[in-house]
Structure 1
Amino acid sequence: MYRRILVPLDGSRFGEHALPPALAFARKLGAELNLATVALPASPEVDSPDRGMPRGEDARDRGLARATSYLDGVTDRIRETGFEGAVKAEVISAGNTSHSLVRHLIEVDADLVVMTTHGRGPIQRAWLGSTADGVIRRSPVPVLLLRPEEEEGDEGSANLTLDLEAGHIPYRRVLVPLDGSRSAEEVLAITPPLTEDDATFTLLKVVAPFIPGGSPYLPHVVRETRDEAVVESASRDYLDDAASRFDLGGRSVEIRTRLQGQAGMSILEVARDEAIELIAISTTGRGGVARMLLGSVADKVIRGSPCPVLVYRKPEES
């Protein structure tokens, strides 16, 4: 399923936290690693000995040389771990960073994007960086977003102490929120390869039973009832059925329901309470792409998650 993994980098240590899981995935799945960075014009503070402003082609050439040297260094460090798979590195011409990255992932036929949010700019738990934000809104392939628990350094370096030799898939506790729609369930098809073979998938359905109409995807009797027992039973039946329709590779499944509360907040509460290591969520489903991603549920989960989030959007919705 995953043959080519794109890792966008910006030269910062923070951004390089995407490398260990991407390398682990590549080892397990036999996938190619594709490293990419966007070449920005050189700044005088960094590149000009006399601090004079580099202009025109000179600034672009310096930026390109610095980006190329950086990716060469990252590639060398990956090779030092003993990784024998394919590693390709490419500097993308400056422009709108997220647009450039999405064009690049389409050109190289990437199957998965692994990136941190946010390496260039402030790090805030409640703020999704503009680059990652733009990528997940436009990417036709799954995007794994990581938010490392550390302050951002100025630049990455050869002394980076990230554990690139860990060699294991880190995710054993996986939360999959479902809204009752078949399109939301598609994330179950693409998540198992990115988890440990003995991982546990927790399927969660959040229902507000006292809101007239309820979920349009649950049976008519559930939408019209105020009986919590009926609602919970139908929700559990739905989750059991959803789990049975996808091949999870023998991974165990747990069922959770929440009968009240805002969906996004409920998902985050379950993730914290159950020490979830990965949330896998579809940006389609109830409300369509625009509402799920730009509105309440997926947006809140992505911005507030205490763990990595795998964001999936069906290709025809891209």
Structure 2
Amino acid sequence: MFRSLLVPLDGSRLAEAALPPALSLAQTLGAPVTLLHILEKDAPTTVHQDQHLSRAEDAVAYLNQIAQRFIAAGVTVQVHVHTRPVTDIAESIVHHATREFNPDLIVMCAHGQGGLRDFLIGNIAQQVLARQQAPILLCRPQAENHPPFTLRRLLLPLDDESQHDLSLDYAVHLARAYDAEACLLTVIPTLATLRGEQAAAGSLLPLTAAAYLDWQEEEAWAHLEEHLQDLQQAGIRAYRHVVRGDPAEQIVAVAEAEDADLIVLATHRKAGMAAFWAHSVAPQVVRRTRRPVLLIPL
């Protein structure tokens, strides 16, 4: 399923937070890796306090140096520098991903401010996700003494929409490769965390809304039980949780409580960037957790 990886890098040590997960996945899955750098037009001289790579020859030398880590681990790797400076970094990443490399997974660092350095909390992430089909693994910078990347436990937030079950296929793929277990999670709102029209209805008919949420919880347990049996029959160790509250808050809280190594989250790709960022739980989870998040575009 993940047969090739694309890793965009801006030359900073913060962006290199994507390297340990990419290296681990490439080794474990036998997937080749492409390291990508895009020259940015009118870029500042530094990026995250590191020298900005503004010349093609410097970028090639940098990527070749990074490539040695993959070669030493027995991973097939290629480097590519987009030498014509661009202003739309996201569009250039998407262009390379969809028309040149066709990766099954893009691994990026979820940190930055502005331009290529705005790697993922802002526009770059949402644009790359919305403009192409490949899943994106978002990684946060970690302390130097942080344990090496591995997958022992995956957290799979699911709802009652069957299309979100797409994340199960990816979870099975990774769980088998790493011999990891899967924690299935559904979050049911409370009256206080209902939003929009549901919140208005809940305030007018609180008893009815409370009964409906109780019914949703029962349905969630049954829904997860079906997936639990499927995973166990596939040889994957798995268990389930149903909790109440705000979805993003609870996903992050359960990920911490269960010490999940990865959150696998399906998310809608909206035509409008603002719509995507406003209505999806995914960016809220990304902002609040330091754990890697695998976003599966629907």
Q: TM over 0.5, yes or no?
A: yes
Distance 1:32 1:120, change over 3 A: farther
Q: Deviations over 1:9-53 (max 9, x none)?
A: 11111111211221121122121111101123587968xxxxxxx
Q: What secondary structure sits across from 1:77 in the alignment?
A: helix
Q: What secondary structure sits across from 1:226 in the alignment?
A: helix
Deviation at 1:276, TM superposition (A): 1.7
Deviation at 1:257, TM superposition (A): 0.6
User: Residue 149 of structure 1 corresponds to which residue in structure 2?
Assistant: 142
Q: Tell me, in whole angstroms, the C-alpha distance in 2 between the residues paired with 1:111 and 1:31.
A: 10
Q: Deviations over 1:100-148 (max 9, x none)?
A: 11111112111101111225669xxxx8144334322323111000012
Which one of the candidate residues 118, 127, 140 is aligned to 1:134?
Answer: 127
Conservation of the 8 A alpha-carbon contact between 1:283 and 1:289? no
User: Residue 312 of structure 1 corresponds to which residue in structure 2?
Assistant: 296
User: Residue 198 of structure 1 corresponds to which residue in structure 2?
Assistant: 179
Conservation of the 8 A alpha-carbon contact between 1:206 and 1:266? yes
Q: Tell me, in whole angstroms, the C-alpha distance in 2 between the residues paired with 1:255 and 1:44.
A: 48
User: Mapping of 1:1-318 within 5 angstroms?
Assistant: 1-40=1-40, 63-79=55-71, 81-83=72-74, 85-92=75-82, 93-95=84-86, 96-106=88-98, 107-119=100-112, 128-150=121-143, 170-195=150-175, 197-208=178-189, 210=191, 226=211, 230-245=215-230, 249-259=234-244, 261-284=245-268, 293-314=277-298
Distance 1:252 1:295, change over 3 A: same
Q: Which structure is higher in helix share?
A: 2
Q: Tell me, in whole angstroms, the C-alpha distance in 2 between the residues paired with 1:192 and 1:111.
A: 16
Distance 1:132 1:162, change over 3 A: farther
Size of the alignment, in residue pairs? 271
Q: Tell me, in whole angstroms, the C-alpha distance in 2 between the residues paired with 1:273 and 1:232.
A: 20
Q: Tell me, in whole angstroms, the C-alpha distance in 1 between the residues paired with 2:273 and 2:221.
A: 25
Distance 1:252 1:245, change over 3 A: closer
Q: Tell me, in whole angstroms, the C-alpha distance in 2 between the residues paired with 1:203 and 1:311.
A: 16
Identity, % of aligned pairs? 31
Q: Tell me, in whole angstroms, the C-alpha distance in 2 between the residues paired with 1:264 and 1:188.
A: 19
Q: Deviations over 1:161-218 (max 9, x none)?
A: 899xx6xx6111211111211111101112333345431211111113656979xxxx
Conservation of the 8 A alpha-carbon contact between 2:185 and 2:240? yes
Conservation of the 8 A alpha-carbon contact between 2:8 and 2:36? yes
Q: Tell me, in whole angstroms, the C-alpha distance in 2 between the residues paired with 1:205 and 1:13.
A: 36
Conservation of the 8 A alpha-carbon contact between 2:18 and 2:107? yes
Q: Which structure is higher in strand share?
A: 2
Q: Tell me, in whole angstroms, the C-alpha distance in 2 between the residues paired with 1:177 and 1:44.
A: 39
Distance 1:82 1:268, change over 3 A: closer
Q: What secondary structure sits across from 1:144 in the alignment?
A: strand
Conservation of the 8 A alpha-carbon contact between 2:35 and 2:78? yes
Question: 5+ unaligned residues in a row in structure 1: which ranges?
Answer: 47-59, 151-160, 215-222
AA matched with 1:5:
L
Distance 1:245 1:181, change over 3 A: farther
Deviation at 1:233, TM superposition (A): 2.8
Larger Rg: 1
Q: Scaled by the length of structure 2, what TM-score is found?
A: 0.77
Conservation of the 8 A alpha-carbon contact between 1:209 and 1:231? no
Distance 1:10 1:245, change over 3 A: same
Question: 5+ unaligned residues in a row in structure 2: which ranges?
Answer: 47-52, 200-207
Conservation of the 8 A alpha-carbon contact between 2:158 and 2:164? yes
Conservation of the 8 A alpha-carbon contact between 1:174 and 1:200? yes
Q: What secondary structure sits across from 2:96 in the alignment?
A: helix
Q: Tell me, in whole angstroms, the C-alpha distance in 2 between the residues paired with 1:141 and 1:292.
A: 16
